[in-house]
Amino acid sequence: MALPQIKQDATDARLAALEMPQGGWSKAARDEALARVRSMGLPNGRDEYWKYTRPDTLVQPDAPKAALLESDEAPIFGEVDRLKVVFVDGVFSAEESDDLVMEHVSIDRLADASDIHWAKDVYGVLEAHGQVPVQRPLASLNTAFATDGVLIHVSGKAPKPISLIYRHASETSDAILHHVVKIDSGAELTLLENGPAAARFNKCLEVEIADGGVFHHIRAQGRDHERRAATAIFTRLGEESVFKSFTLTANGVLTRNECVIELTGDNAVAHVAGACVGDGDFHHDDTVFITHDALNCESRQVFKKVLRNGATGVFQGKILVKEGAQKTDGYQISQSLLLDEDSQFLAKPELEIYADDVACSHGSTSGAIDEDGLFYLRSRGIEEGPATDLLTIAFLAEAVMEIEDESLQEEINSRVEAWLTRRRG
């Protein structure tokens, strides 16, 4: 079916500005992804899933300029014993990275991997699968044109986290990275990500988790005010496997974080959470799609947004329970704390259930600071500003507590606190 002319033109213009890397083993996946992009077209404001977030600047051929943030704040995760992989404007920096060697883990770079590679079975495969029933053309664009990324195969319990660090150095950089993580049966990995990455960042992360595998993901998206990011996670979970992902977003003019989760093995657990704080022209969109396709699986979505000075938050979350996915336990909460009357929160929670023995709950709220809590704190001598900050951190707590590691919880909280203090002046 032909695309509408306007979409066709926008898609052609974007594709004309890109060059497909030498693929090696990934060539076939890239070609197929390009075909998907051509047939779907890149998103525009008329698409149902882009109703609340304008994709124009994510689609246009050149990245809009984004100034670099000047800050003397130490980067997050600095205290964590980890294996660092550094990308500067989407380009791997061998100098700043650790050796890509760790017990029970093999790490390759997408740009290096030439002929035959295990990642062939995952690269673009989960992404392609995640295009139904909702199209995610920016992710296909990523699969076709990603210039680099890491391919991580975990065969046991990884001794320390792998930490992907994205530095932003050029005001006009446009980065496309694609990572693949494959967790073998019973294996475990924690993946950390942080940094603004580029003026515009398109990132795709595919995670295949075999039976009994465990994957933890904690991410802090960079604070550069003008940066833009469209990220997508595609994951497939085997029996009794665990996937837990948390994202902190503080500023950035435009962020679209998609997460597509498929529970295909019985008793699997998937949690995805996000805390974001933004003000002014900040626009943050969390779009989640969880498919329950096995018995007795648990999924949790916990998204909290603190918005002020006209910031916008978007949540689109869906739980699909397929026929036969009995004993599903699905939970979804999306809440915003609006610190003034100029900010807005747009939420579209959806449930689609074809099994008859399931428990699915969802809730979505927008509200101001709790007056009773504020009075309680003030009556103990805490001034209104710091009391509001404490309550803001309290509001985000349910999302932050999805992180299992308590020291990381604290680190995330301290970042939020610093953000609040800075904002307050």
Partner 1 sequence: MLEIKNLHVQLEEEDKQILKGVNLTVEAGKVHAIMGPNGSGKSTLSYVLSGKDGYEVTEGSATLEGEDILEMEPEERAAAGVFLAFQYPVEIPGVGNMTFLRTAVNAQRKARGEEEMSASEFLKVVRAKAKDLKIDADMLKRPVNVGFSGGEKKRNEILQMAMLEPKMCILDETDSGLDVDAMKLVAEGVNALRDEGRGFLVITHYQRLLDHIQPDVVHIMADGRIVKTGGPELALEVENNGYADILAEAV
Instruction: Decide whether 316 or 413 has the Cβ nearer to partner 1.
Output: 413
Cis amide linkage into residue 55, ω under 30° from 0: no
How far CA 424 is from CA of 344, 372, 421, in Å, comes to: 20, 21, 5
Bridge partners, 216 (sequence order) = 190, 244
Instruction: Decide whether 111 or 394 has the Cβ nearer to partner 1.
Output: 394
Task: Give me the least distance between CB of 103 and partner 1, in Å please.
Answer: 34
The residue among 412, 415, 418, 420 whose CA lies nearest residue 218 is 412
Task: Give me the least distance between CB of 164 and partner 1, in Å please.
Answer: 27
Task: Give me the least distance between CB of 387 and partner 1, in Å please.
Answer: 8
Provide the angle, in degrees to the nearest 10, between the axes of the packed helices 384-400 and 371-378: 130
Instruction: Decide whether 105 or 387 has the Cβ nearer to partner 1.
Output: 387
Instruction: Decide whether 142 or 392 has the Cβ nearer to partner 1.
Output: 392
Task: Give me the least distance between CB of 233 and partner 1, in Å please.
Answer: 25
Provide the angle, in degrees to the nearest 10, between the axes of the packed helices 27-40 and 5-16: 150
Instruction: Decide whether 275 or 320 has the Cβ nearer to partner 1.
Output: 275
Instruction: Decide whether 215 or 303 has the Cβ nearer to partner 1.
Output: 303
- HSE-CB at 64 with a 13 A cutoff on CA atoms is 14
Q: What angle do CA 25, 28, 32 make, to 5 degrees?
A: 145
The residue among 16, 22, 14 whose CA lies nearest residue 41 is 14
Binding site for partner 1 (CB under 8 A): 370-373, 375-384, 386-387, 390-391, 393-398, 400-401, 413
How far CA 47 is from CA of 5, 10, 52, 54, 302, in Å, comes to: 14, 14, 10, 10, 25
Task: Give me the least distance between CB of 295 and partner 1, in Å please.
Answer: 32
Q: Where on the phi/psi map is residue 209: left (φ > 0), alpha (ψ -120 to 50), or beta?
A: beta
Task: Give me the least distance between CB of 376 and partner 1, in Å please.
Answer: 4
Task: Give me the least distance between CB of 280 and partner 1, in Å please.
Answer: 25
The residue among 346, 294, 286 whose CA lies nearest residue 324 is 294
Q: What angle do CA 361, 365, 369 make, to 5 degrees?
A: 135
Instruction: Return d(Cα 94, Cα 99) in angstroms, integer.
Output: 8
Task: Give me the least distance between CB of 373 and partner 1, in Å please.
Answer: 5
Task: Give me the least distance between CB of 284 and partner 1, in Å please.
Answer: 20
Instruction: Decide whether 139 or 399 has the Cβ nearer to partner 1.
Output: 399
Instruction: Decide whether 123 or 395 has the Cβ nearer to partner 1.
Output: 395
**Could you tell me what percentage of the chain is helix, strand and coil, using 3-state DSSP and rounding each to the nearest 5?**
25, 40, 40
Kindly report the three-state secondary structure assignment for every residue of 25-77.
HHHHHHHHHHHHHHHHCCCCCCCHHHCCCCCHHHHCCCCCCCCCCCCCCCCCC
Per-residue DSSP letter, 381: T
Instruction: Decide whether 356 or 380 has the Cβ nearer to partner 1.
Output: 380
Task: Give me the least distance between CB of 364 and partner 1, in Å please.
Answer: 18
Cβ–Cβ under 8 Å, residues 141 and 42: yes
Instruction: Decide whether 91 or 369 has the Cβ nearer to partner 1.
Output: 369
Instruction: Decide whether 121 or 384 has the Cβ nearer to partner 1.
Output: 384
Alpha helices in 325-405 (DSSP H): 371-378, 384-400
Task: Give me the least distance between CB of 345 and partner 1, in Å please.
Answer: 19
**Residue for token digits 């009773």?**
372
Q: What angle do CA 178, 83, 191 make, to 5 degrees?
A: 50
